[in-house]
A and B are shown apart, each in its own frame.
Chain A
Amino acid sequence: MHNDRIRVDLQLIADMVEPGTRVLDIGCSDGELLGYLTRTKNVDGRGLELSNEGVRNCVAQGLPVMQGDADRDLGDYPDGAFDYAILSQTLQATHRPKEVLSELLRIGNKAIVSFPNFGHWRARFDLMFRGRMPQNPNLPIMWYETPNIHFCTVRDFVAMCDEMGVRIERSMVLNESGSKVSSDGHSRFANFFGNQALFMLSK
């Protein structure tokens, strides 16, 4: 039924998750990652998803998912309820990214976070030479319609982690198609050439 190939960037997240653990996937969309982790890594997985359609699709696959919002609905989960709290490509769409990140690290022993990098050279190019907000396959939506309201660069993100006293366990940057470009998300190189960034964090 499943050929168990998932989107490249999701695969990189899945590779960070130890088998048999408890996972909360926030913004789990149609359950691609959650389903994969459940099937192949025997995790006890839960999902939180904003869109009704996404929730329906997940539950129809037998995945335990509820409708909810990263900004509003994390407060109910008990401390340390999960080994991993995953927030994939969603942080930039939250109203209070910093609070969301600290909630992730309250609920999960580790947080896995991925986001589009606004420091990528093409974004810089768009702003500097075209004088326009960046638009590319990872950020396809015009500024007036995008749900992404809190963009940051990799270095911005690292600075926030430092300020919060959050430990960066692993970091990497990915290219447009989600393949790994660098295993060091801290570097200037990463911030310039990474299309997306992926971090594993702990307190």
Chain B
Amino acid sequence: MSTTANKDQRALLPGHHMVLGETDKLRLDSGVEFGPFTLAYQTYGELNADKTNAILVCHALTGDQYVADDVHPITGKEGWWCEIVGPGKIIDTNKYFVICSNVIGGCLGSTGPKDTNPETGKPWGLDFPVITIADMVRAQTMLIDALGIDSLFAVIGGSMGGMQVLEWCKSYPERVFAAAPIATSFRHSAQNIAFHEVGRQAVMADPDWCGGNYLLEGKKPARGLAVARMTAHITYLSQPALHRKFGRKLQNRGAITYSFDHDFQVESYLRHQGKSFVDRFDANSYLYITRAMDYFDLSLEYDGRLADAFTGCKTRFCIISFSSDWCFTTAESRLLAHALNAASCNVSCVEIESDKGHDAFLLDEPDFHMVLSGFIEGAAQGRGLN
């Protein structure tokens, strides 16, 4: 399904693109046999001769493959995890070969709903098959296979990235030496599904969404997607963090205006977040990826006995949560850790004190960095990489 239009779009994005599933298609959880499809990915550092130093970094809902680029091709800012990934950093690209791919269903180069459906010659829109976290990971395994890597030294990711980490460990334990699921859970909670549904309804309520066919109609559901992002963004912060940053401060004015203008700084900030998001994200991708997270529940196929998902798993785990994260709470992380204990797995579980909410995993949090760094170092020793 690499039509000329899709190729042209991708040619504008720097980095690698691999066409996969040409002969053996990707079997999706929904039963659809999908392919060929493209995964866009970035790599940093060099793969060693034994191919034992590869780290797969999995991105979150609105993240992408540009994890450690100095300049993001669309936002112009630095990559989303430059705090952690880079030469001499915690995930040291002088030492490790780091791979990060845009998830299938995404909108930064990997095949997703904004691409052209080869059967119709039109953008997929809502005809794109529903994707799950397991589908994302299955697609990643095809990429890792194509790169000639049998076993990954580590799979690391936060939030939805952490879900992929856990899916890797459940489905391909022999291919993952160490795993760091961060600010995540083995299942999406009712509260998280609820917030996602608010976001999706905001997109769908925008008349410019056009039943998902906005690309054909030459429109963009920018207002709906911006509202979705604004809502979601609140859930990524915490009450204390919001208060510290904004309080009740007014935006460039001395007094309230008795209007619905953005009097408060927090309103202005959220509007900005929403507006800048729509420039870099596709609305239908947002629907598909939020859905993938909602459907995620690792315990489902084991009648709720999560431990059974990890029977015999030799991977070392380091589960990290943040005290003020109310999307993915420490309580959920502890359930996961207890299940891994029950499966006799090698597991560390740490809560980092932070008032920065769910987003803390993306920010400068020295305790978090110390823990992750120690875990990776220890695992590297275990793998004979030091």
Q: Which residues of A line the B interface, CB within 8 A?
A: 44, 46, 52, 55-56, 58-68, 73, 76-78, 81
Residue of B341, B346, B379 most packed against chain A (CB within 10 A): B341
Partner of A64, one of B346, B367, B377: B346
Interface size class of B (residues with CB under 8 A): 20 to 34
Partner of B367, one of A56, A65, A66, A78: A56
Q: Does B160 contact A (CB under 8 A)?
A: no
Q: How far is the CA of A68 from the CA of B378 in the complex (A)?
A: 21
* A56 B370 Cβ-Cβ under 8 A: yes
What residue in chain A is nearest B368 (Cβ atoms)?
A: A56
3 tightest A-B CB contacts, nearest first: A62-B378, A60-B374, A66-B349
* B350 A64 Cβ-Cβ under 8 A: no
* B379 A62 Cβ-Cβ under 8 A: yes
Partner of B378, one of A46, A61, A66: A61
Partner of A76, one of B319, B342, B348, B381: B342
A116: min CB distance to chain B, Å: 29
Question: Main SS of the interface on chain B?
Answer: helix
Q: Does B347 contact A (CB under 8 A)?
A: yes
**Chain B residue contacts of A56, Cβ below 8 A:** 350, 352, 367, 370-371
What residue in chain B is nearest A58 (Cβ atoms)?
A: B348
* B347 A64 Cβ-Cβ under 8 A: yes
8 Å CB interface, B319-363 against A:
319, 334, 337-339, 341-342, 344, 346-353
Q: How far is the CA of A73 from the CA of B348 in the complex (A)?
A: 14
Residue of A52, A63, A66 most packed against chain B (CB within 10 A): A66
* A65 B348 Cβ-Cβ under 8 A: yes
* A59 B348 Cβ-Cβ under 8 A: yes
Q: How far is the CA of A71 from the CA of B127 in the complex (A)?
A: 53
A35: min CB distance to chain B, Å: 10
**Chain A residue contacts of B338, Cβ below 8 A:** 73, 76
What residue in chain B is nearest A65 (Cβ atoms)?
A: B348
* A59 B379 Cβ-Cβ under 8 A: no
